[in-house]
A and B are shown apart, each in its own frame.
Chain A
Amino acid sequence: MQGYSVEKLTLLKAGRSCGLLHRQMTPPRTLPFTPSDQLRGRKLLFVSGKGGVGKTAVSQALALARAREGKRVLWVTFEDPLRPAGELRQVPGPKGLWQLNCDATRAFEEYAALKIGMAPLTRVFLRNKLMQYLAKAAPGIHELVLLGKVWHERLNYDQVIVDMPSTGYGLAMFQSTENFRTLFKGGPLFRDAEQMLRTFSDPAQTGLLIVALPEEMPLQESLELHEFLLALFPENPSGFIVNRLFPRVTGPAEEQASPPDSWPTPHATSVGEYLRKRSILESANLRIWSGAGLEYAALPYVPPAPGQSFDTLVEALSQELSR
């Protein structure tokens, strides 16, 4: 479930040294950004990032914060294994918060019905073995209809906040919309793909938000994601949330005197050494980050208490985001 176009990223590869983020970058055209700015006024908000960075918690926390303001919000997940496929439910808590667990097969059927119009014809089409095969085998068709579903839903809510699948697959979703625009010259599918792309590239309608971790690879990967999205939507630069910052225990002098590259081993052997190194590493990474002219909002590592549920974490993040 991946395969974003690597060619577009080669720009980033030049100038990379020793695995850190020392590299030439195209000057990012980032808008002045805070998560709350990003939240306002945009119908669609895509929250992307690599697997394991906390996208689900952050996107749900954003949705929760927004619903608390009295807005009608749809939080979209893609094939969340914890919820039934295709389910639309009201999330317990503030009025007006809904979760849609998008399912590709269902979205495809809905989309076909919408496009074909007449029920008997739709049935012929969907029951046809060859069409079923094409729908399954054609790369990108699932991604296209899933995004199409989200695009359509924006009309029914004040805001739609989307928990995108992990980087590769998430990128593929945007990429395939672009692919289909190229493949289908003319015809209703072409027009839909084109309109979707227009909405996604319009900063007045769509917000692109990247969740990153203050570690080396994840930060690097979120920069790549940023470049990739910028190549697809040059007019609509992404905003960043750096998630899970450890409390800083080192000062600038120590950070300068002992940069990560000078450590003889990548390991840490005691609690104190780990926390110190972690603090130096995060500060160094964030310096590179802001040195590249990227603005970000930061979220602290929410200490997981024993037996704490996911909802408690979402609640804590949502408080942070509303501050």
Chain B
Amino acid sequence: MSQTPIDSILARRKILITCGTGGVGKTTLSAAIAMRAALLGRRAVVVTIDPAKRLATSLGLEGLGDHATDLTPLLRNALAKMPASGLNGVPGSLHAIMPDTRRTFESFIRELAPSEALARRVMENPIFQIFAKEFSGANEYMALERLFTLERQSEYDCIILDTPPSRDTLAFLDAPKLLVQFFEERLIRWLVLPANKIVSAGMRKALGILEKLTGAGFMTNLFDFASALFEVRARFSANLNAITRLLESPRAGFIMVATPGTIGGGEVRHFLESVAKHGFHFDGVALNRTLGHLKALPGEPEYPEARAVLRGLQEKEGAALSEALGQARRGGDDIPVCARLPELARDVHSLEDLLHVSLAFGPLRPEA
């Protein structure tokens, strides 16, 4: 019997990054993969970037936060309550981290800034305060920073990164590029030129219009913010390059999490192309919340109306899968489906529930 696909992926990667739009169950699935790694004997950690702290809620663990929480004892307890699993003991370990993105961002500015005074000036700037909260890409960047640090620490030999929630599966992949644009030196330089320097007439005109539109207070803050950025840009770019190299290395693999409802419309193809363009490694699509496996048992009540809805969903699911995978195949790629997980009848409420999900990936045979 061959190995369960997700297990062979875990065997060849140190880092797995899960991408997917909201509502596909990415956070639960990521935690379940990390748990599986622990059951296979790895020192696993799941890092989940989520301002709404859903992992803590779904595991009933309010204490989960910026520091790694050891879930191994809880996993042992859960396993003890499930003799049917046939597993005795956890050969590895399981940790969870939910980075506080705001704090990470501030400590990151402190680290980059040459002086404490400059760091404070940046953080007090109203533009920065909004930037830290709103910039699409800030959370993504913080996730990468954290990943990079964890990788270097070698405390774990398996890191599962649950990327920030986004409306677009590709958002995470494009985040570094966005940030590079943000720090585009040539342009920031314009903003930090002393006011008395000779500026081209066109530039002076454009700045004048901007000032008229936004008010003078904004311009002062903007110049201030830009000059602070200017001072931290070099170290920032160096960090970003190192992180990009890590993502490109064979140590890291990308998984697209999708549901039968979100897999259509060329999503898989887009993701595949984008991963390839960045030079990353694609490990397959994890299909979550599938209904296709549900069969009626003899003697069950009819429920004709409800069953018609379910049948409709199952038919749609079959069609969506063959369409999406067929489309990708016509593009020359054979899409590996690295996991197929059933729709849950209710949400995960405990580590024990998560263990059920983790075992649903397929038979588990710890490494020899």
Tell whether A306 pairs with B353 under 8 Å between CB atoms, given A168-B166, A184-B214, A270-B294: no
Q: Which of A68-76, A94-102, A172-180 contacts B (4 or more CB under 8 A)?
A: A172-180
CB distance from A191 to the nearest CB of B (A): 10
Contact A19 B349 (CB under 8 A): yes
Cβ contact within 8 Å between A270 and B297: yes
CB of B23, distance to nearest CB on chain A (Å): 4
Give, as a whole number of angstroms, the nearest-CB distance from B314 to chain A: 9
Whether A167 pairs with B347 at a CB distance below 8 angstroms is no
CA distance A271 to B52 in the complex (A): 33
* A157 at interface by CB-CB < 8 Å: no
Given known A-B contacts A168-B165, A187-B213, A266-B344, A272 and B303 have beta carbons under 8 A apart? yes
| B238 in contact (CB, < 8 A) | no
Q: Is the CB of A274 within 8 A of B294?
A: yes
A306 and B319 in contact, given A19-B347, A168-B167, A249-B306 (Cβ under 8 angstroms): yes
Check if B167 sits within 8 Å of A304, measured CB to CB.
Answer: no
Smallest Cβ-Cβ distance to A140: which chain B residue:
B134
A289 contacts the other chain (Cβ, under 8 Å)? no
Answer whether A165 and B353 are a contact pair too, CB < 8 Å, given A128-B206, A139-B134, A275-B307. no
Any B CB within 8 A of the CB of A36: no
In the complex, whether A89 has a CB less than 8 A from a CB of chain B is: no
Chain A: minimal CB distance from B267 (Å): 10
Please give me the residue from chain A that is nearest to B356 by CB atom.
A265
Indicate if the CB atoms of B315 and A304 lie closer than 8 Å. Answer: yes
Residues on A with beta carbons closer than 8 Å to the beta carbon of B108: none
B46 partner residues in chain A, CB cutoff 8 A: none
Are the CB atoms of A187 and B307 closer together than 8 Å?
Answer: no
Residues on the A chain within 8 Å of B342, using CB: 267-268
In this complex, what residue of A is CB-closest to B314?
Answer: A271
Quick check: is B247 within 8 A (CB to CB) of the other chain?
Answer: no
CA distance A274 to B22 in the complex (A): 23
Known: A1-B171, A266-B344. A187 touches B215 (CB 8 A): yes
Asked if A281 is at the interface of the complex by the 8 Å CB criterion, the answer is yes
In the bound assembly, the distance between CA atoms of A175 and B136 in angstroms comes to: 13
> How far, in angstroms, from A301 to B171 measured CA to CA in the complex?
30
Q: Collect the chain A residues with CB atoms within 8 Å of residue B118's CB.
A: none
A residues near B51, Cβ cutoff 8 Å: 2-4, 6
| Closest-CB distance, A12 to chain B (whole angstroms) | 9
Query: Across the interface, do A281 and B316 meet the contact criterion of CB distance under 8 Å?
Result: no
Against B, the Cβ 8 Å flags (1 = close, 0 = not) of A208-248 are 00000001111011001000000000000000000000111
Stretch at the interface among A26-34, A47-55, A197-205: A47-55
State which of A9, A115, A271 has its C-beta within 8 Å of the C-beta of B300. Answer: A271
Contact residues in A for B344 (Cβ distance below 8 Å): 266-268
Given contacts A166-B22, A216-B347, contact A221 B52 (CB under 8 A): yes
Judge whether A51 and B319 touch: CB under 8 Å.
Answer: no
Query: Is A129 engaged at the interface, CB distance under 8 Å to the other chain?
Result: yes
Which residues of A are found within 8 Å of B133, using beta-carbon distances? Answer: 3, 5
For A278, list chain B residues within 8 Å (CB). 306, 345
B182 / chain A contacts, CB cutoff of 8 Å: 137
In the complex, what residues of A have CB within 8 A of residue B245's CB? none
**Cβ contact within 8 Å between B167 and A281:** no
A169 to B21, CA, bound (A): 12
Are A166 and B21 in contact (CB-based, < 8 A)? Answer: yes
Q: How far is the CA of A269 from the CA of B343 in the complex (A)?
A: 10
Known A1-B167, A51-B23, A267-B356; judge A304-B294 contact (CB<8 A): no
Check: B346 CB closer than 8 A to any chain A CB.
Answer: yes
Question: At the interface, yes or no: A291 with Cβ under 8 Å from chain B?
Answer: no
Q: Does A279 reach chain B (CB closer than 8 Å)?
A: yes
Q: How far is the CB of A131 from chain B (nearest CB, A)?
A: 5
Shortest B255–chain A CB gap in Å is 18
Rounded to whole Å, the gap between the CB of A141 and the closest CB of chain B is 10
Which residues of A sit under 8 angstroms from B316, Cβ to Cβ? 304, 306
The answer to the question of A37 belonging to the interface, with a C-beta cut-off of 8 Å to chain B, is no
Cα–Cα distance between A281 and B202 once the two chains are bound (Å) = 63
- Kindly supply a per-residue 1/0 record for chain B positions 20-51, scoring 1 wherever the CB is within 8 Å of any chain A CB and 0 otherwise: 01111000000000000000000000000001
Interchain CB contact under 8 A, A175 and B346: no
The reply to whether B187 and A130 form a contact with Cβ atoms under 8 Å apart is yes
A19 engages B57 (CB within 8 Å): yes
**A52 vs B165: C-alpha distance when bound (angstroms):** 13
Name the A residues within 8 Å of B165 (CB-CB).
Answer: 2, 168
CB–CB B127/A188 < 8 A: no
User: Is A287 in contact with chain B by the CB < 8 A criterion?
Assistant: no
For B360, give its contact among A166, A249, A267, A274 (CB under 8 Å).
Answer: A267
Q: Contacts A116-B209, A304-B313 given: A260-B23 contact, CB under 8 Å?
A: no
Q: Quick one: CB contact mask for B174-208 with A, threshold 8 Å, 1 for yes?
A: 00000001101001001100000000001101110
Q: Is the CB–CB distance between A19 and B58 below 8 Å? A: yes
Decide yes or no whether B83 CB sits under 8 A from chain A.
no
User: Of the candidates A18, A51, A176, A304, which one forms a contact with B312 in the assembled complex, judged by CB atoms under 8 Å apart?
Assistant: A304
Complex-state Cα separation, A9 to B54, whole angstroms: 13
Are A3 and B136 CB-contacts (below 8 A) given A169-B167, A267-B360, A304-B315?
Answer: yes
- The contact sample of 15 A-B pairs, CB cut-off 8 A, is A2-B136, A2-B167, A3-B133, A115-B213, A124-B202, A131-B206, A137-B182, A167-B22, A168-B166, A266-B348, A270-B294, A271-B300, A272-B296, A278-B345, A306-B316
A: which residues have CB within 8 A of B?
Answer: 1-6, 9, 13, 16-20, 50-53, 81, 115-116, 121, 124-125, 128-131, 133-134, 136-137, 139-140, 165-169, 172, 175-176, 179, 182-190, 215-218, 220-221, 224, 246-249, 260-261, 263, 265-275, 277-279, 281, 301, 303-306
A139-B131, A187-B212 given; name 11 further pairs at CB < 8 Å.
A1-B168, A3-B138, A17-B60, A52-B261, A184-B214, A188-B213, A266-B353, A267-B342, A270-B295, A272-B303, A275-B310
Please give me the 5 A-B residue pairs with the lowest Cβ-Cβ distance, nearest first: A272-B300, A187-B215, A303-B312, A277-B345, A128-B206
